[in-house]
Homo-oligomer: A and B are copies of this chain.
């Protein structure tokens, strides 16, 4: 599959795209690159002249605190563009890095803007992507806030499972091989790794969802999981054929 099709495939989970816009995306010059696990791609304070999208692996945006604590603010799977914002907000106010070994593709801001000049609707599609990104942030505020550890963890699992599903990352049996350590999940939820582990045990023992050292996430009872999480997928704004 040509690299740019990955981007198109992802965008089409959220919007219908005209043939013309698909062609423009397909023609976008992209530069593939491998990154190692834990390698930073764009550091806080820098001013990148390009954005990236994920071909394979997982990227995260995070802030670091004194003492080495991390707050992960987003996770990005295949087809997503984690730093589109750098197009119009020059200076990075957080760091983008790989949490697993990953394949990414670089797209120059210049080329993106040129494509937007050719098609207004294309610009709108990319704008919309950044808005959907923000919708996820809003949920994560709640995950880290009023929803306690159990609901927050369940919510994150719901979300990632659906996001993995719509870009075809599930295994044949409907399980998902979670490419994240429990530490990485804990960093996203503002929990200690110990408490996350116990929370996963709760979910396992209540026959809701199984996630353990095998990293195979198996949804035992989707309805119960959704209820535990208070998960309402509206905020993912999936087009009909990708609804859950």
Contacts and interface: CB of A to CB of B under 8 A. Distances in A.
A141 B135 contact: no
Given A65-B230, A85-B131, A131-B130, A91 B146 contact: no
A226 to B, nearest CB: 13
Given A117-B120, A230-B65, A144 B237 contact: no
Given A137-B134, A141-B141, A230-B66, A235 B93 contact: yes
Contact of A89 (B45, B116, B131, B142): B131
B130 A71 contact: no
A132 B230 contact: no
Copies per complex of this chain: 2
Interface size class of A (residues with CB under 8 A): 35 or more
A46 B131 CA distance: 17
A123 interface: yes
A23 B230 CA distance: 45
18 contacts: A65-B230, A66-B230, A71-B146, A73-B141, A85-B131, A85-B135, A88-B127, A88-B131, A93-B234, A94-B138, A127-B130, A130-B131, A130-B134, A137-B137, A137-B138, A141-B190, A144-B145, A146-B187
